[in-house]
Every structure is written in C-alpha cells, then in structure tokens.
Amino acid sequence: MNVFFKLLLAVIFILFFSCTTTKKQDITIYQDISDSIRKNYAPDKRVALYKVSLRFDQNKIILKGESDQPKAIAALKQKLEETNIQIIDSVLMLPDASVGKTTFAIVNNSVANIRSTGKHSGELATQALLGTSLKVLKIAGSFYLVQTPDDYISWVDHGGVTLMNSDEYLKWTKAPKIIYTNTTGYTYQENNTNSAKLSDIVLGAQLKLLNEEENFYQIEYPDSRIGFVKKSECELYSKWVSNVKPSGELIESYAREFLGAPYLWGGTSSKGMDCSGFTKTVYLMNGFIIPRDASQQINAGLDIDSNLKFENLEKGDLMFFGKKATDSTKQITTHVGIWLGNGNGEFIHEASQVRLSSINSDSPYYDKFNTNRYLGSRRYLGVKDKMITNLKTNKLLTDFKQ
C-alpha cells in the first residue's frame, strides 16, 4: 500500500471517529435534557409514565417510547428544538388506540389484583376494591394498563373489571351507591342469607343501589349482576360520606378491626394487606384517599416529629420506619404504622399480621427493632394537602382527583 492510500485511510478514520465521538457527546447532552424533563414531570414512575428513548438517525433525533404526560413530551420537544436539532416524535401517548372508547373500568370483584406486569405471574403491585374506578391507559390481550384513584399505574386482568365508555362511566358514578362497612361478608342472589351467594365483599366496597327493602338493599354490580346485601352491614354512600367524622378514635377503631389480618405484599383489603395498604384502608374509612406506598405517604401531611423524640404525636398520626440517612446514603422509607399512644407509646401496624407494638421498653408490646429505625411521623388529620383527597369536599370514591 503506497503512502497516499495510507494517508487517505488515516484521514477517513479520523473523520469517522470524530463524527462518532461528536454524536456520542451530542446524544449524551440530549439524554441529559430528557432526564431533566423526567425528573420534573414524572419523578415517581409508580404514578406517572415517561419511558422515552432517544437515538440519532441521519442528523435527526428520534423520540420513541410511551408516556401519559403530554406536558412532559411537549417540554422535551421544546428543549430539544432549542438546540437546533430536527426531531421525529414517535412517542406513543397514553391512553392509546387500543383503548378505543372504553377509557374507564370499574372493579367487578371484591378485590382486583393489580400487577406490575401484564401477566398473572407479575408481582402484586396494589389492589382496588369492588366499585372503584380505574382509568384505562392501554389494552394488551387480556390485561389492561390502568391508573387507580391514588394515581398508581399497573396492570389488571380483564376478569377483575368491567370496561366502560365515558357515558357508561358517568351513569355509574352518578347512580346512588352503598358502601360496605363490615370487615368482610357476602352478597346474595335473593333477599335472604339462605339463598345462594353472589360473591364475597370487603370493607370499603361500593355497589349501585337499586332498591331498599326491610333488611336488604338490592344492588347492582358493574357487570349488571343484581343481588342483595344486608342493610346492617353497609350504609348509603351519600349518608356515610356526609356523616363520617375522621378522628384519632375512628382511625383506631378501624385499625383494630384488622388485628390479626395476614400480611400480603401489595394488598389493600381485609383479605390481606401490606403496611401501607393497611394505613391506606384505615384512612379510606375515615373519608380520605391517601398515597399508596410508605415512601409516598411520608411526603404527605405535616411533619410533627423531626427531632425523632416521639413528642407531640396524636392518635392517628402515621409513623415511618426504615434506614436513616448517612453521609453517603439517602434515607429509605420501608415501613409505616399508626400511632395510638394510649399512655403506653403504642402503635399499630402490619408486620406479618396486623399487630400492636410499643416504643416503651416496659410494655409487653415493646418493638425494639422498629423503635430503633424510626424516621419520624406525619399528621394527615386536619391538614390540607394535594396528596390527600378528602371525600367530603372532593369527589366520590369512584371518581378521580382533578
């Protein structure tokens, strides 16, 4: 090979390497912009979807992926355009075309299991009670990507819900309802307890009211099944939500109803619950929709024990536990319970089962493990917070926060 060709190959190599390096540097800059947008608009992937990838193609940036955050995608495109790069937007916005007109679903079983992936073997992420509304974001086979009233986004199987279009959904939400106030029970095919059972039912469930009889309410399921439920085990929703008086005492009363209830990762019902599912359900029956997970609940309400002295706590405050921050690591919240006090430093929480514990070393309920990993407490009662939906002043349980 002569000297001329050697020099030519060297120049080509340098130009190619320089171009490739520039592209790598540019894509890093653009990726940093995307990461900044994600942190601003969708910092918690449990409640906001922003799965966006960027790649070069002939001096253009192609955006791919999916999101339910139109403002985030608009902001991303604006920031990228400021760099004078041409953009091809191929991001799939949710809800997508697979949903069609059925943009809502109502839970049709006593409890709907909502999973982290669209398959039955997927991890249980959370649950939704009978009669709860879900936003439908995507349909993939027999599973639906949905969002719950507390904004959690995961997958539910088709058997647990009934799809509805906007007109059907409006009729459902406007119809009179009953709310089930027993820990657990049954609905029946006829207006007597000797008739065949229609299904089981759990605390907090709602059904459409059709008729009131002496000892039973005639009710309708989202899938149009008609049955009966004992009046002594439920209330008219409108009456319940008007009369419920959230308090530390009412929180303790409902919390104690669950004593001995088994632990279930992702559970939020009397069939089984995790620590934050327990606190969520107790607060629901006090008239509030609160964030789903302990690591979300710690960001709501009012901080009332930043000194970690167990001072100024009131019955019903949420207590948080986990790994404390160090010089090199952030605080990690892994557990939550409810402060009861009762003169003995008691709290109630779901740990293997719903149980009583205490911060007092002289108490038979002393819990050294959790006392030593205490991270602080938050007050929800009497506090206005956009993360806490008050059902008295906001929307029905079957509706969503605006």
Q: Which of 172, 199, 220 is the last residue of a domain?
A: 172
76 and 204 assigned to the same domain: no
**β-strand partners of 70:** none
Query: For residue 327, what is the domain's CATH number?
Result: 3.90.1720.10
Which value, in Å, is the radius of gyration of the alpha carbons in the chain? 26
132 and 213 assigned to the same domain: no
70 and 126 assigned to the same domain: no
- Is 135 domain-assigned? yes
- Is 134 domain-assigned? yes
Q: How many CB atoms lie within 10 A of CB 193?
A: 13
270 and 378 assigned to the same domain: yes
- Sequence letter at residue 287: G
291 and 165 assigned to the same domain: no
Query: For residue 150, what is the domain's CATH number?
Result: 2.30.30.40
76 and 145 assigned to the same domain: no
122 and 192 assigned to the same domain: no
Q: Which of 93, 124, 148 is the last residue of a domain?
A: 93
313 and 385 assigned to the same domain: yes
pLDDT of residue 151: 95
pLDDT of residue 116: 97
253 and 386 assigned to the same domain: yes
Query: For residue 43, what is the domain's CATH number?
Result: 3.30.1340.30
pLDDT of residue 23: 53
pTM of the predicted model, to two decimals?
0.90
Question: How many independent structural domains does the chain possess?
Answer: 4
Half-sphere exposure of 220 (CA within 13 A, CB side): 13
256 and 359 assigned to the same domain: yes
188 and 65 assigned to the same domain: no
- Is 301 domain-assigned? yes
pLDDT of residue 345: 97
**β-strand partners of 129:** 111
pLDDT tens track, the chain, 402 positions: 565 555 445 444 444 444 444 454 567 888 999 999 999 999 999 999 999 999 988 788 999 999 999 999 999 999 999 988 899 999 999 999 999 999 999 999 999 999 999 999 999 999 999 999 999 999 999 999 999 999 999 999 999 999 999 999 999 999 999 999 999 999 999 999 999 999 999 999 999 999 999 999 999 999 999 999 999 999 999 999 999 999 999 999 999 999 999 999 999 999 999 999 999 999 999 999 999 999 999 999 999 999 999 999 999 999 999 999 999 999 999 999 999 999 999 999 999 999 999 999 999 999 999 999 999 999 999 999 999 999 988 754 444 443
State which residues form the domain around 313. Answer: 248-390
Between CA 336 and CA 267 the distance in angstroms is 14
Half-sphere exposure of 300 (CA within 13 A, CB side): 25
Name the one residue in this structure whose structure tokens are 């970690």. 308
Half-sphere exposure of 282 (CA within 13 A, CB side): 35
159 and 181 assigned to the same domain: no
| Nearest alpha carbon to residue 296 among 333, 350, 337 | 333
